[in-house]
Amino acid sequence: MNKSLLVYLIMMVVVLLMVETAFAESTSTLASTLAATSKPSAGKGKHHGKHAKKHVSHKKGKKHGKKGKKHHKKGKKSGKKAKKHTKKGKKHHKKGRKHNKRHGKKHTRKNARKSARKSLLHKIKKANRRYRASKRHLKNLLHKLSRKSYKRVKKCRRSRKLLKKTRKSVRRAARRLKKAKKALKKNKKSKKAKTSVVKAKKALKKAKKTHKFAKKINRKCRRGKKGGKRHGKKGRKGKKGGMKGRKGKKSGKKGKKSGKKGKKHHKKGKKHHKKGKKSGKKGKKGGKKGKKTEKETSGPVVSPQ
């Protein structure tokens, strides 16, 4: 009995030892794997991997002096790209939105004028076939018409037509009201006559309103206001996508300039910090010019005894 108990105890001890060694081994492997994984990955910058900074632009930034779109160049560019020549000095970080920068749209207006002039030339040639006009007369006509954009000339013509139509409608409405009133006078109890007067009054009011609007358009056209859609727009209202509002004011507008005035455009490059001492005294500030007169107490200085 005692023998079997002893054997049982020895077996238990052996099993326990085996379990303990296995556990120790597993923990050590776990520790080693943990150590291996927690090491920072070598050579990975902030632009790559799981913890990369978001929104890091890999673009090289627009070159400042670049005008228009430089088309897709075929072939490989070897080495570093050459410095763009028109970039002058350091262009500082500009805050806010750049106003009225029409990228790559430099010639649109010019082209519009050109095409307008071409069509006008054609018209003038036709006119010249109809009557023998002097060259000077034709030139003057061309100059006068090409000064405004052709579109606006067309617009004026359209607005004149509109004005004519609305004037007609006002007269028609007035006649209608007159007739309705006459009919009501004949039969004062008639319900139909009463409603027709009310309706005629409404129609006249509406016609007058539209005529007033047509007048306004025609007046603007004659004066040459709002030639295109671009005039009189006061920048972008509100902050869209973090863009700042207009800085300063456009020329020719009355009232106070709010905010800082925009950067002057022709300052080229960074005016660097001048190092070292400026030799000589700095120039006298303003004031007197010319030679100073001698002091009145000229002569030997007598020391008080």
Give the domain CATH number at 175.
Answer: 1.10.287
pLDDT value at position 205? 92
pLDDT value at position 272? 65
Q: Does 220 fall in a domain? A: yes
pTM beyond 0.85: the answer is: no
Is the CB of residue 63 less than 8 Å from the CB of residue 87? yes
pLDDT value at position 199? 95
Q: Does 189 fall in a domain? A: yes
pLDDT value at position 43? 53
Question: What one-character DSSP code corresponds to residue 76?
Answer: P
Structure tokens at 78: 């070897």
Structure tokens at 164: 């004519």
pLDDT value at position 87? 60
pLDDT value at position 22? 76
Q: Does 276 fall in a domain? A: no
Q: Does 195 fall in a domain? A: yes
Q: Does 183 fall in a domain? A: yes
Is the CB of residue 127 less than 8 Å from the CB of residue 137? no
Task: Using alpha carbons, list the distances in angstroms from residue 227 to 103, 147, 156, 162, 271.
Answer: 22, 12, 10, 18, 41
Q: DSSP letters along 153-210, please?
A: HHHHHHHHHHHHHHHHHHHHHHHHHHHHHHHHHH-TT-HHHHHHHHHHHHHHHHHHHH
Splitting the chain (305 residues) into consecutive groups of 10 residues, what average pLDDT does each group show?
A: 83 88 69 58 58 59 59 62 61 61 58 64 61 57 53 63 84 95 92 95 90 77 52 48 51 56 60 65 61 61 67
Report the domain count for the chain: 1
Q: Does 131 fall in a domain? A: no
Structure tokens at 6: 């002893």
Q: Does 279 fall in a domain? A: no
Q: Does 79 fall in a domain? A: no
d(CA 288, CA 271): 31
- Which domain does 188 fall in, by range? 157-228
pLDDT value at position 275? 67
CB neighbours of residue 269 within 10 Å: 10
pLDDT value at position 101? 56
pLDDT value at position 66? 58
